[in-house]
Chains A and B, each alone.
Chain A
Amino acid sequence: MRFEHSNLLWLLLVVPPVLAGFFWWALRARQKLLAQFIQARLLSSLTVGVSPARLKVRFALVILAVAFLIITIARPQRGYDLEEVQQNGLDIVVAVDTSKSMLAPDIAPNRLTRAKLATLELMQKASADRMGLVAFAGDAFLECPLTIDNTAFQQSVQALDVNSIPQGGTAIAEAINTALTAFKEKTRHKVLLLFTDGEDNESEAGALEAAQNAAKEGLKIFTIGIGSAEGTLVTVAGADGNTDYIRDEKGQVVKSKLNESLLQQIATAAGGFYLPLRGANTMDTLYERGLAPLPKSESGEKLVRRYHEQFHWPLASALLLLLAEMFLPERSLPTATQSKVQSPKSKVNATAAALLVGLGLLPLGAKASPTSALRDYNSGNFTNALTEFTALAEVRTNDLRLVFNAGDAAYRATNFDAAQNLFQQVTLSPDLKLQQQAFYNLGNVQFEKAKQAKDLDGLEQGFDAAAKIYERAVMLNTNDADALFNFRFAQGAAEQVRDLKTALLRAKGSADAAVQRAEFHRAYEIMQGLAQNYKIAEKQFADFTKKLKDIDDIATTHQP
């Protein structure tokens, strides 16, 4: 794994942290602005489901996406292909001897055909090089100028025959000079391949001189000898159609021999080497030993590494993250969080459940304080919990759930006045669920307070008030069976107190009647029975009963 622009990776150390810092600042600014903008009382309902945690997740996604984009532009790459690049291609001119001696069949089928096949083979190998073709016999002619068009070159090669050059002979010097005219660009490597049987019947010295001159112009000559050193008789089709041996002017048959020494000298003079065309691998040897090293020696680089780009992976990751960020809902659905609310099962459990619900709605990023308050609450240390929740509620004035929890703790700490006060605050909550629960708990508080009443009237009023509050809770949530039960229960209690009051009054009435009939003992018995049955009555009528007892005592003493 490498990076084309590895310097850009330093951005990873700069941009994401700066972005994170910016987001941290933005979060704080948001909260500050929200507090200024919206009344604390409405905040929780207007921003329900919008939690800083959700926002943080979104920010994290964006930061991650940015990091991946930075990796993308650094262009990660893995693996490479080696690609052949010939910056200095060769210019190769192939000069093929087309003299009649090339028809000698000492190498099958004959020398010329083998030379042509060898030329085409070379063309395949030197596909990146430009090639040209010179035919020579007694004269030389540029059959095909330098070209990269292999087809054109091929056609020129295939068109060669011993009649290509009408003048008989083997003018190697002429061939070298004609080849030189084919090279026009000076920068490229110039190579001449000489296919010949080396029988220069012009002048061997002239051929060598031409080679030396060509070497001065930067031409390298490789000579390929075709034929055998022993020589062979050359047959040729005569004008009358009969085949005959080639004869010299005196009518003697001419034996064509491969002049290897001349070819060797020419090659050496012009920086190349001599190869006899034998076997199948001559062209391979020539190309690998003679031609292929040439560009390498000068430009120094033949293979370039083409790296495999891998940028699509980080790019796709970044896109996916951005898409996820886009589709991540800004606020959770209200029903989703509140469906967790369980309806309270009993008076005591109801408050605990409500408390847990309240805490469950707390933002995830909240400090540890609500947790410690909850710990206090759960361990039964209600007074501590109350203090902590109250302190928390003062800090976070916008969160009525904390007030609710404080009220709850107060209730459990049997500090009913405080609980009443706190729950009453919560009944103003815009969150109807919370409001309903506050009413329910307020009813509980009222009920408990009523039980502490000193007389029947207070009891009755207290129970009535509790029933009224429960009724509010029932109205807010008609499905709340507990609230309904408590509502009926409080109503029933108030009713019982009223019944009791009438019963007491009736008892008092009969006691009074007994007093009027001066049956003090009877009156005392009635009152005592009343007191025994109803503790509350004992308190209420304590004076009356005391008087009755005194009178009764006196009466009994004085009565025989």
Chain B
Amino acid sequence: MKIYAEIDKLEKAEAVINKYTEYKELFAWVVAGGLALLLIEIVLGQTALRRLP
């Protein structure tokens, strides 16, 4: 185990690795959920939860 500590102390060479990350856009699901909730609110607001006037 001691050897690892010693190895850690040794000079380190910097490695440059080209890393490419491709993200998938998932916001559409969130927005679609919000849109659905909004529509539900609109319908309920004018029917079951209607306030007058």
| A22–B16 touching, CB < 8 Å | no
0 or 1 for each of B12-53: is its CB under 8 Å from A? (1 = yes): 011111100010010110011011001100110011001011
Within 8 A of B (CB), among A63-92: 65-66, 69-70, 72-73, 75
Bound complex: CA A50 to CA B52 (Å): 10
| B52–A37 touching, CB < 8 Å | yes
| B16–A73 touching, CB < 8 Å | no
Chain A residues lying within 8 Å of B28, measured Cβ to Cβ, are: 5, 72-73, 75, 311
| B18–A127 touching, CB < 8 Å | yes
| A66–B39 touching, CB < 8 Å | yes
CB distance from A85 to the nearest CB of B (A): 8
What is the count of residue pairs linking A and B with beta-carbon distances less than 8 angstroms? 67
Known: A33-B52, A34-B52, A148-B17. A69 touches B31 (CB 8 A): yes
Bound complex: CA A226 to CA B6 (Å): 43
Known: A26-B46, A151-B15. A72 touches B31 (CB 8 A): yes
> Which chain A residue shows the least CB distance to B42?
A62
Partner of B16, one of A19, A26, A150, A155: A150
A143 CB within 8 Å of chain B: no
| A70–B53 touching, CB < 8 Å | no
Bound complex: CA A249 to CA B24 (Å): 68
Partner of A149, one of B17, B34, B46: B17
| B52–A311 touching, CB < 8 Å | no
CB distance from B51 to the nearest CB of A (A): 9
Bound complex: CA A29 to CA B25 (Å): 42
A315 CB within 8 Å of chain B: yes
Known: A150-B16, A151-B14. A34 touches B53 (CB 8 A): yes
Known: A75-B25, A149-B15. A22 touches B46 (CB 8 A): yes
Interface size class of A (residues with CB under 8 A): 35 or more
| A73–B15 touching, CB < 8 Å | no
Chain B residues lying within 8 Å of A128, measured Cβ to Cβ, are: 18
A309 CB within 8 Å of chain B: yes
Partner of B31, one of A46, A150, A315: A315
Chain B residues lying within 8 Å of A19, measured Cβ to Cβ, are: 39, 42
Most buried by B among A37, A69, A149: A69
Known: A148-B17, A149-B17, A151-B13. A23 touches B35 (CB 8 A): no
Chain A residues lying within 8 Å of B14, measured Cβ to Cβ, are: 151
| A30–B16 touching, CB < 8 Å | no
Chain B residues lying within 8 Å of A72, measured Cβ to Cβ, are: 28, 31
Bound complex: CA A30 to CA B14 (Å): 72
| A46–B46 touching, CB < 8 Å | no
Chain A residues lying within 8 Å of B13, measured Cβ to Cβ, are: 151, 155
CB distance from A515 to the nearest CB of B (A): 74
Bound complex: CA A311 to CA B43 (Å): 26
Partner of A22, one of B38, B43, B53: B43
Chain A residues lying within 8 Å of B16, measured Cβ to Cβ, are: 150-151
Chain A residues lying within 8 Å of B47, measured Cβ to Cβ, are: 26
Chain A residues lying within 8 Å of B43, measured Cβ to Cβ, are: 22
A to B CB contacts below 8 Å, 28 in the list:
A4-B25, A22-B42, A23-B46, A26-B47, A29-B46, A30-B50, A30-B52, A30-B53, A33-B50, A34-B52, A46-B53, A47-B53, A50-B53, A62-B38, A62-B42, A65-B38, A69-B35, A73-B35, A75-B25, A75-B28, A127-B18, A128-B18, A148-B17, A150-B16, A151-B14, A151-B16, A155-B13, A311-B27
Q: B-contacting residues of A (Cβ < 8 Å)?
A: 4-5, 15, 19, 22-23, 26, 29-30, 33-34, 37, 46-47, 50, 62, 65-66, 69-70, 72-73, 75, 127-128, 148-152, 155, 306, 309, 311, 315, 322, 331
**Top 10 A-B residue pairs of the complex, sorted by shortest distance between their CB atoms:** A26-B46, A151-B15, A47-B53, A69-B35, A50-B53, A73-B28, A73-B31, A73-B32, A72-B31, A151-B13
